[in-house]
Structures are given as structure tokens and as C-alpha cells.
Amino acid sequence: MTDSLDKATLRLSARATRAAFVADLDPLAHRLAFRAVPTLVTAMLADRDRIALYAPLDEEAPALRLAEALIAQGKTLCLPRVIDRLGLMEFRAWSPGDRMEEGRFGTRHPRADAPICHPDAIIAPLIAFDDGLMRLGQGGGYYDRAFARYENALRLGLAWSVQQIDHVPSDPWDVPLHAVLTERSIITPAPETVTL
């Protein structure tokens, strides 16, 4: 088992790196970032109908920018809704323009009466990732449990390129992603990385 202090220290460092990178981005570059991603992942999502996105916090990569292109491809979208502090969350249907509610930890999520959705692709936020596609999250275990519950879902991380590090410490329950999408590339198991 990994020392939790290692992960906590790494989270602080990675958050600071991400914040500095986003603060230094040219406003136009920030607005255009990730716009080409849905077109490039069409093949990856060809046999996936229900795609889970997330409403970003702080300097997280802007997942909701993918929504319109995914809808144009006929995909149904959903967002996570945190249920409790024990690491449980569910996915609820969502479309651009739907009203969202404030959730735990400053999150935003679909209303409680939005239909339950069972995603077959989950686009997840992260704090850091490595070449092995291991993901460092916020530490609550929400996505780890979702990945276990939807074990056949495609697991995609969305991140700024500066969030790639040499090594993410992992625990036995941590599951690698299938790919990470950044503003510069689609990172898949070597040697298949595609530069944008």
C-alpha cells in the first residue's frame, strides 16, 4: 500500500503546477483548448453511447467543452452526482443548458430527479497522470469506485499536458486509464500516443 503522505504531497505540487500553467495561458488558447478532442476520439467512442463528463473545479481541464460535439455524434451525456462522503457517486443524465445543483466539495451536478445513467465511457478529471496511465485523483475514491462498478466502461482522463509526471504512486485498487486526452495529445499505451 502507498504511503498516503506521498500522494498528499504530490497532490499539492501537481495542483500548484496546474494552477500556474492555467494562469499563464493566453485567453484565446484557453478558450480553444480541447475543442478538437471529440473529433479525434470519435473512433475510440464509436461503440460507446453513454458518455460521462464532469463539471470542472478550479483549474481542471474543461470537460463540458466536449458536450456539443459528443451530442452531435449521437451520444447521451451524463455527469456524476456525489451521494455521500463514503466515496459513492452515481451518474445522472445531463445536456447543455440543464440546470445544475451545488454539491459537496464545491461540485456542481445534475438535479436529483434527472434520470440515472449507466455510462459506457467515463471521462474523468485528475490531478496528475503518468506514462502507465495511472491517475492521481482528489483522494476520495469516487472515480476508483465508479471504475470498479462500470468495469467495462472506457476510462479516459482529461488533463492539461503539464499534469503528466514521471510516476503516480498506486494502491492495489487503483486502475489505469485507457487513455488521457490533453490539449496537446491523446496519450495511450506506448507507442500509440497521438500529438495534436
State phi, psi for 66 to the nearest 5 degrees.
-85, -15
Domain ranges of the chain: 4-190
What is the tens place of the pLDDT at every residue in 55-107? 999 899 999 999 998 999 999 999 999 887 776 899 999 999 999 998 877 78
3-state secondary structure of 194: strand
In this structure, what C-alpha cell is assigned to residue 195? Answer: 500529438
Return the CATH fold of 4-190: Rossmann fold (3.40.50)
3-state secondary structure of 167: coil
CA distance 99 to 112: 11
pLDDT of 40 > 90? The answer is no
pLDDT the model gives residue 171: 86
CA distances from 171 to 42, 89, 137, 174, 176 (A): 32, 20, 12, 5, 11
Residue 162: HSE in the Cβ half-sphere, 13 Å Cα cutoff: 16
pLDDT the model gives residue 19: 96
CB 193 within 8 A of CB 180: no
CA distance 49 to 71: 10
CB 61 within 8 A of CB 80: no
What is the tens place of the pLDDT at every residue in 138-171? 888 899 999 999 999 999 999 999 999 999 998 8
pTM of the model: 0.91
pLDDT the model gives residue 32: 83
pLDDT the model gives residue 1: 47
